[in-house]
Structures are given as C-alpha cells and as structure tokens.
Amino acid sequence: MSAHSPYVEVNVDCLAGPSHHYGGHAFGNLASMQSKKQLSYPRAAALQGLEKAKLCMDLGIPQIVLPPQQRPALDVLWQLGFRGTDEQIIECAFQEAPKLLSACYSSSWMWTANWATVTPSPDSFDGRLHLTPANLVSQFHRALEVPQTLDALRRIFSNRQFFEVHDCLPCNWALADEGAANHTRFCSVYGQPGLHLLVYGREGWSEQEVKGLQTEFPARQSRLASECIARQHGLRCDRVVYARTSSKAIDLGVFHNDVASVGNQQFFLYHAHAFENTGRVIDALKRCAEGLQLDLFCFEVSEGVLSLKEAVKSYLFNSQILTLPTNEMVIIAPSQCQEMPKAKQVLDELIAGNSPIRDVRYVDLRQSMQNGGGPACLRLRVVMSQEQMGAIPQGILLTPRRYERIKKWITTHYREELKFEDLRDPELMKESNSALESFSTSEFSC
C-alpha cells in the first residue's frame, strides 16, 4: 500500500430499528434513565439518523449507512427459558420479564461509536487497518448486539490484504470494552501517523472497583481492556496516552468519554472535569504530539462557562467534528446546544476565535438523544486509503439515490409511535422482520 495514497475518514452509521423504544436499561446514562417507558417515535428516530448521515454526505464526507439488526432476539429469549411459538414467547416474556423482552427489542446498535475500536493502517504494526469489536459486557442489552455487529464488520472489511477484524476481548468485567466512544485519534492529516487517547473509568483488577465503591454509577471501560487493544493493534507506546474519566464526570452522567470530550485531527474540545487531573492529561498529549510534530489545539471549557451537568444535558461534547474536502472543520451539534444559551455560546466562540472550527450545523436527533445518543454516538470513524475504500462493498455507501430509497423504506415500514406495552404485540415482530426482508439485496448485504 502506498504511503502517499490519500486517506479519508469514513463515517459508519446504522439505522435505528422499527422497535426503537425507551427501555431505560442504561444505568448511569441519565437520558436513558429519565426516558424509561416514554412514548417513542421509531419512524422519526430512523429518519433523524438518516438526515444526519445525509448532511455528512452533502458536506463531502464518505458515509456508510447500514440496515438495522434483527430484532427481537428470540434466540436469547429461548436461551433464557421461554418456550412455545414466537408469539407465545413474546407474550410470556412480556408477562414474566418485560425488561428482558425490552432488552431483546432494543435498538441500541444505532450508536455505532460503540461498535469497535479502530486503528488505521498508518499506525498499526503491519500496515493494515485493525478493528476490535467491543464486547459491551457492562450492559446486557448492548451485549446482545455484538454477534451481529461482528458479522457486519467482517463482511464489510473482509479483504485480509487491507483489514484485520479481531475477535472481541474475552467477555469479562475486567476486560469491559465500550469501543470508539472512549478513543480519540489525533493527527495532522488522516494519512499521517497519529496519537491515540484511550480513556477508561477503572483499572480492571481492583477489588474496590469490583465492589463498586468508587462511583455512584458504574465505570464501564477498563484500562486493562484499552491496553489489550493497543497491544493487539500494535500501537507504539510513545503514541498512546491513557486517561481516566473523573469520578465526578461518571456520577453526572458521563458514561462514555465522548460525553465530555471530542477531538478531530489536531483539535481537541474537552470539559475541564472530563478527566482525573485533566491538566496532566493535556500535558501528556502535548508531549506525545511533539514527537509527531503535531501542533495540538486544545480548547478547554471550564465549569464556570458550562457546568459538566449542563454539558451532559446539552451533549455539546457529543458533537461530530468533520474535516471537509476544503480542509476546513465543521461541527455537527445536537439542536439542544442551539437551545441552551451557554452551550451555544461555546460553539459561537469556537467559530469566532482562532480554532480550526469554521462552521456549526445543528441537527435534530431528539429520538436518539432521549436515549443518550448524540451525533458522535451515531457514527464509527474509520480512516481508510483509496485502495482500502475500493476494497469494501460500494453498495453500502450513501448516495442521493440510496438516501431516497432508504427514506421511502423507513416511511413505509416503521410505526409512527410505539408505547412500551406495544412490545407484547406480535405484529411488531412481524413488521420488523418484514422490514428487513424488504431491503433490496444490494442495500442490505455487505
């Protein structure tokens, strides 16, 4: 592979499913907890995600859009002891264990930032792109995604000349891995070697941590998992910084680091309380950046400017930062940031000042946001060369024509609204199956 081949950052998004609802499963995710059993709007959820993906496409960013995963997870319900016809299993599960049924209907795969940790070929030990799917063992409903996620990634990145899709880390609390939501890569341009920030909430082995004595809400990512992935991908030690999420942040709802910081190329936007000893983290990043002749632009948001509680409510740091073909940066922020004066002021300052951010686009993602997922949650960033781009299935890339077809498909097959009680309706299962079957072969298969 030519070292001079131009590289691009591709966004991988996955549509919310027809059973999108608010199960309240994610302890420590305040939006999810507060939205439990509220009325949901599956059609709007899928359309909002699609419109966000279209915006990226319109801005010149390569954009992959994948179909929903298969739900409900009847095989899991069978494994958990429910028997009978599919309809009988659904009804029995709703009566005896509605939370289990809800988890098996969850649409949480839509947050692809948790699908995997990605190392592009300029940084790996063998010059290939490496992906390690997250095991997501900290949350039952999220762990159910993993087999289908692994299958999708292996179908997309099947060419072993260019790609290596690893197995997940062993499914153990000590190795709990949440994927790219806790990983930021810094670089001058995408094709140059980069610096990796890997963020964790706990070490992995500590007895005190196992007893859950450190935070009110659980810390999901372990440092041990992050270290294993760095080793697996062959990252150089002098190009990796490990940082611990502050206990205060976790207890205020920062269940992943992408709720308190976001970075792109040489730019880093973060809250002052994002990490334990944030100053040391920034110093370590700058020291490592010097070795790459990388001039980091670090923009800290203080507690006085925007409290961490307000940051979690607005999801400012879960914005998506894109580098356009013109080499200018644009930030895609949730519409809540436009509605909260303090959050909007931060974004206005970024544009007016000397940061690389030249524009902000606000997007309506309310259906995802009510479950704790903003623009950054809805995408997995994959840096690829032109040769690598040519080695993936081209039919999964979003085009204007494919956008129109998917939009029509969503409008045809998704319910406008869904109550929690509707999960017992066997027609929902049939509608979900019919929707996936109706995807054309070229659009569905990888």
Q: What pLDDT score was predicted for residue 209?
A: 56
How many beta carbons lie within 10 A of that of residue 159, not counting itself? Answer: 14
Q: What pLDDT score was predicted for residue 210?
A: 53
- Measure the CA–CA gap between 145 and 301, rounded to whole angstroms: 34
Contacts of 118 (CB under 8 A, 6+ apart): 129, 130, 131, 180, 183, 380, 381, 382, 383
Total domains in the chain come to 1
Of 21, 130, 256, 413, the active-site residue reads 256
Token pair in block for residue 128: 């290939």
Return the SS3 of 243: strand
Number of helical (H) and strand (E) elements in the chain, helices listed first? 19, 15
- Measure the CA–CA gap between 45 and 205, rounded to whole angstroms: 39
Per residue in 127-168, pLDDT (tens digit) is 999 999 999 999 999 999 999 999 999 999 999 999 999 999
Q: What pLDDT score was predicted for residue 33?
A: 86
CA 441 to chain centre: 26
Token pair in block for residue 235: 């990252």
DSSP symbol at 202: B
Domain membership flag for residue 380:
yes
Q: Of the candidates 250, 130, 165, 144, which has an alpha carbon nearest to the alpha carbon of residue 200?
A: 250
How many beta carbons lie within 10 A of that of residue 421, not counting itself? Answer: 10
**Which helix (H) or strand (E) segment is 210 a member of?**
helix 207-210
Of 20, 25, 141, 178, the active-site residue reads 178
DSSP symbol at 397: B
Return the SS3 of 64: strand
Residue 359 lies in domain: 7-71+106-444
**Which helix (H) or strand (E) segment is 240 a member of?**
strand 240-244
- Measure the CA–CA gap between 417 and 420, rounded to whole angstroms: 10
What's 146's domain CATH number? Answer: 3.75.10.20
Alpha-carbon distances of 402 from 17, 52, 221, 390, 443, rounded to whole Å: 18, 14, 36, 18, 8
- Measure the CA–CA gap between 211 and 139, rounded to whole angstroms: 17
Of 14, 56, 168, 377, the active-site residue reads 377
Domain membership flag for residue 157:
yes
Q: What pLDDT score was predicted for residue 3?
A: 45
> What is the arrangement of strands in the sheet containing 267-271, beginning at the earlier edge strand?
261-264, 267-271, 297-301
Q: What pLDDT score was predicted for residue 411?
A: 97
Burial (0-12, 13-18, 19+ Cβ within 10 Å), 184: buried
Domain membership flag for residue 376:
yes
**Which helix (H) or strand (E) segment is 329 a member of?**
strand 329-334
Whether 288 is a known active-site residue: answer no
Q: What pLDDT score was predicted for residue 441?
A: 44
Domain membership flag for residue 128:
yes
Burial (0-12, 13-18, 19+ Cβ within 10 Å), 166: middle
Alpha-carbon distances of 412 from 110, 211, 384, 444, rounded to whole Å: 19, 48, 34, 16
Domain membership flag for residue 151:
yes
Mean pLDDT by 10 residues, the chain (446 residues): 71 98 89 90 99 99 98 97 97 98 98 99 98 97 97 98 98 96 98 98 73 74 98 98 97 95 98 98 98 96 98 97 97 98 98 96 97 97 98 97 97 98 97 90 45
Whether 187 is a known active-site residue: answer no
pTM confidence score = 0.95
Domain membership flag for residue 410:
yes
Whether 377 is a known active-site residue: answer yes
- Measure the CA–CA gap between 185 and 356, rounded to whole angstroms: 16
Domain membership flag for residue 260:
yes
Q: Of the candidates 289, 253, 284, which has an alpha carbon nearest to the alpha carbon of residue 271?
A: 253
Domain membership flag for residue 81:
no
